[in-house]
């Protein structure tokens, strides 16, 4: 068994090494297109491996940096515990910030950085979330100015509005102090508008639909439970398409029980 493990380890190193040499020898474009295809199909582990090779071949390429940051956030999300996820998210943050420095007018650079901050915020205190809020909003504004149809940016902006709309009095006082007043928008209506755009630009992504339903549920106006229920039933009719869709489906089913 020890000999077999050693052989497998040697084989993996050999394959990665050969791929890296091939990339350095001019095969980058083919690997890059495969990586983009993996991203388009939400194949996080495959994309992660491909962009690792590409980034090793050229650590100053903005496309490699932004995509590697994106895949660190996505693969990190698949890890079992917070302790396992956080190193991925911190690396994603570092690479996203580096991508912005290399390509300040690249929408994906700004998006990858925001995605990493959003993932870090999932495990942050209210104070840290508020401290990150200004950076997130600024980067989202830049991303959407560069690409007004970026579904991922619209999604995060929707969650940003919803999060602040749901703050308690103490948290709103703190964010007022940080921003010098409540940021423009930051209502449930703004959140719904943004999430509807995310759904419009990528209809097959279950998580866009889930957060739209969750926003209706959290707003709690007359008719919102019915709206959330309608969105959730539409969502649950979608086939699993991404690696995290089984978990997204569970979230939708749990929320549907609350609104029925």
CA gap 212, 194 in Å, rounded: 9
CA gap 157, 149 in Å, rounded: 13
DSSP H or E segment with residue 43: none
pLDDT tops 80 at residue 17: no
Please give the CATH superfamily to which domain 21-123 belongs: Tetratricopeptide repeat domain (1.25.40.10)
| Residue 166 burial (C-beta neighbours within 10 Å; 0-12, 13-18, 19+) | middle
| Residue 142 contacts residue 97 (beta carbons within 8 Å) | no
Closest of 210, 238, 211, 215 to residue 225, by C-alpha: 215
Give residues with Cβ within 8 angstroms of 38, minimum separation 6: 44, 46, 47, 50
pLDDT of residue 23: 52
Average pLDDT for 96-112: 98
Q: Which of 74-88, 103-117, 122-136, 138-152 has the lowest mean pLDDT?
A: 122-136
CA gap 20, 18 in Å, rounded: 5
pLDDT of residue 7: 37
Average model confidence (pLDDT) for the chain? 87
Average pLDDT for 40-69: 95
pLDDT 10s digits, 188-207: 999 999 999 999 999 999 99
CA gap 246, 183 in Å, rounded: 35
pLDDT of residue 180: 63
Average pLDDT for 132-140: 88
In the structure, what pLDDT confidence band is assigned to residue 128 with cuts at 50, 70 and 90?
confident
In the structure, what pLDDT confidence band is assigned to residue 130 with cuts at 50, 70 and 90?
confident
In the structure, what pLDDT confidence band is assigned to residue 41 with cuts at 50, 70 and 90?
confident
Q: What is the pTM of this model?
A: 0.83
Closest of 88, 85, 82 to residue 70, by C-alpha: 88
pLDDT of residue 49: 96
**Percentage of residues in the chain having pLDDT higher than 70:** 86
pLDDT of residue 178: 66
| Residue 164 contacts residue 189 (beta carbons within 8 Å) | no
CA gap 260, 250 in Å, rounded: 16
Tokens of 183: 């940021």
pLDDT 10s digits, 143-179: 999 999 999 999 999 998 998 888 777 777 777 776 6
In the structure, what pLDDT confidence band is assigned to residue 225 with cuts at 50, 70 and 90?
very high
Give residues with Cβ within 8 angstroms of 238, minimum separation 6: 204, 206, 209
pLDDT of residue 241: 86
What's the length of the chain? 260
Average pLDDT for 66-72: 98
Q: Which residue has the higher pLDDT, 99 or 164?
A: 99
In the structure, what pLDDT confidence band is assigned to residue 38 with cuts at 50, 70 and 90?
very high
């Amino acid at each position: 068994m020890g000999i077999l493990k050693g052989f497998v380890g040697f084989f993996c190193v050999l394959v990665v090494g050969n791929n890296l040499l091939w990339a350095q020898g001019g095969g980058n474009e083919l690997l890059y297109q495969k990586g983009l295809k993996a991203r388009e199909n939400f194949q996080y582990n495959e994309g992660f491996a491909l962009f690792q090779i590409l980034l090793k071949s050229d650590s100053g390429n903005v496309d490699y940096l932004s995509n590697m940051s994106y895949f660190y956030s996505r693969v990190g999300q698949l890890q079992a515990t917070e302790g396992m996820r956080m190193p991925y998210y911190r690396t994603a943050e570092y690479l996203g910030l580096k991508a912005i420095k290399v390509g300040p007018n690249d929408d994906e650079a700004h998006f990858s950085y925001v995605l990493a901050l959003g993932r870090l915020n999932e495990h942050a205190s209210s104070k840290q979330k508020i401290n990150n809020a200004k950076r997130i909003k600024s980067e989202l504004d830049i991303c959407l100015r560069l690409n007004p149809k970026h579904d991922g940016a619209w999604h995060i902006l929707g969650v940003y509005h919803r999060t602040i709309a749901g703050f308690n009095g103490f948290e709103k006082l703190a964010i007022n102090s940080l921003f010098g007043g409540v940021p423009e928008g930051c209502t449930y209506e703004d959140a719904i508008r943004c999430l509807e755009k995310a759904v419009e630009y990528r209809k097959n992504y279950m998580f866009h639909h889930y957060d739209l339903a969750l926003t209706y549920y959290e707003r709690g106006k007359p008719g919102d439970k019915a709206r959330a229920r309608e969105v959730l039933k539409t969502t649950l009719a979608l086939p699993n398409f991404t690696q995290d869709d089984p978990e997204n489906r569970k979230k939708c089913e749990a929320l549907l029980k609350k609104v029925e």
